[in-house]
Amino acid sequence: MKAIVCEKYGPPSTLQIKEVTQPVPKEKEVLVKVHAAAINDYDWSMVRGRPHLYRLFFGVTKPKRPIPGMELAGTIQAVGANATLFEIGDPVYGDISEYGFGSFAEYLCINENALCLKPTSMSFEEAAAIPHASMLAYQGLIDVGQLQKGQKVLINGAGGGVGTFGLQIAKMYDAEVTGVDTGAKLKRMKALGFDHVIDYKKEDFVKNSTRYDLILDAKTTRPIWAYQRVLQPAGKYVTVGGTIPRLLQLFLLKPFISMAGKKKMHLVSLKANKDLTYINQLYEEGKIQPVIDGPYALEEIPWAIQYFGEGKHTGKVVIKV
Question: Is 276 within the bounds of a domain?
Answer: no
Residue 311 CA to residue 307 CA, distance in Å, equals 7
CA distance 146 to 179: 19
- In this structure, are 295 and 239 located in the same domain? no
- The reply to whether 47 and 106 lie within a common domain is yes
Select from 67, 58, 83 the least CA-distant residue to 23.
67
Return the CATH number at 85: 3.90.180.10
Contact yes or no for 179/171 (Cβ under 8 A): no
What pTM value is reported for the model?
0.94
Residue 280 lies in a domain: no
Residue 285 lies in a domain: no
Instruction: Quick: pLDDT tens for 97-129.
Output: 999 999 999 999 999 999 999 999 999 999 999
Answer whether residue 110 is part of any domain: yes
Do 157 and 261 reside in the same domain of the chain? Answer: yes
Give the CATH number, domain containing residue 171: 3.40.50.720
* φ, ψ dihedrals at 243, nearest 5°: -75, 150
Domain shared by 147 and 123, yes or no: no
- Boundaries of domain holding 81: 2-130+290-320
pLDDT of residue 201 exceeding 90, the answer is yes
> How many structural domains does the chain have?
2
User: Is residue 216 assigned to a domain?
Assistant: yes
Predicted pLDDT at 102: 97
Cβ neighbours of residue 125 closer than 8 Å, sequence gap 6 or more:
35, 36, 73, 292, 294, 295, 318, 320
Report the mean per-residue pLDDT for the chain: 94
Query: Are residue 183 and residue 296 in the same domain, yes or no?
Result: no
One domain for residues 80 and 180: no
pLDDT tens, position by position, 64-94: 999 999 999 999 999 999 999 999 999 999 9
What is the pLDDT averaged over residues 172-188? 96
The DSSP H or E segment spanning 171 is helix 161-171
Sign of dihedral through CA atoms 275, 311, 155, 253? positive
Q: What is the pLDDT of residue 259?
A: 56
Q: Are 34 and 74 in contact (CB under 8 A)?
A: yes
Cis peptide before 295 (omega within 30 of 0): yes
The residues that bridge with 94 in the sheet, in sequence order, are 72
DSSP strand pairing (231-239 vs 176-181): unpaired
Residue 131 is classified by DSSP as: H
Q: Which are the contacts of 274, defined by CB distance < 8 A and separation ≥ 6? A: 135, 139
273 burial level (CB within 10 Å; 0-12, 13-18, 19+): buried
Residues 148 and 234 both lie in one domain = yes
Both 144 and 123 in one domain: the answer is no
Domain-embedded: residue 303: yes
- Domain edge (last residue) among 267, 282, 305: 267
Does 69 fall in a domain?
A: yes
Count CB neighbours of 71 within 10 A. 30
Domain identity same for 115 and 140: no
Question: Residue 75, SS3?
Answer: strand
Return the pLDDT at 57. 87
Judgement on whether residues 126 and 140 belong to the same structural domain of the protein: no
**Whether the predicted pLDDT of 260 surpasses 80:** no
In a domain, 282, yes or no: no
Specify whether 313 is located in the same domain as 234: no
Alpha carbon of residue 200 to chain centroid: 21
Q: Give rounded-to-5 percent helix, strand, coil for the chain.
A: 35, 30, 40
Q: Torsions phi, psi of 259, nearest 5?
A: -70, -25
Report the alpha-carbon distance of residue 154 to residue 288 in Å, rounded. Answer: 19
Q: Does 202 lie in the same domain as 148?
A: yes
Q: Give me the sign of the Cα torsion angle 294, 300, 303, 304.
A: positive
Instruction: List the end-to-end C-alpha distance of the chain, in Å, as a whole number.
Output: 11
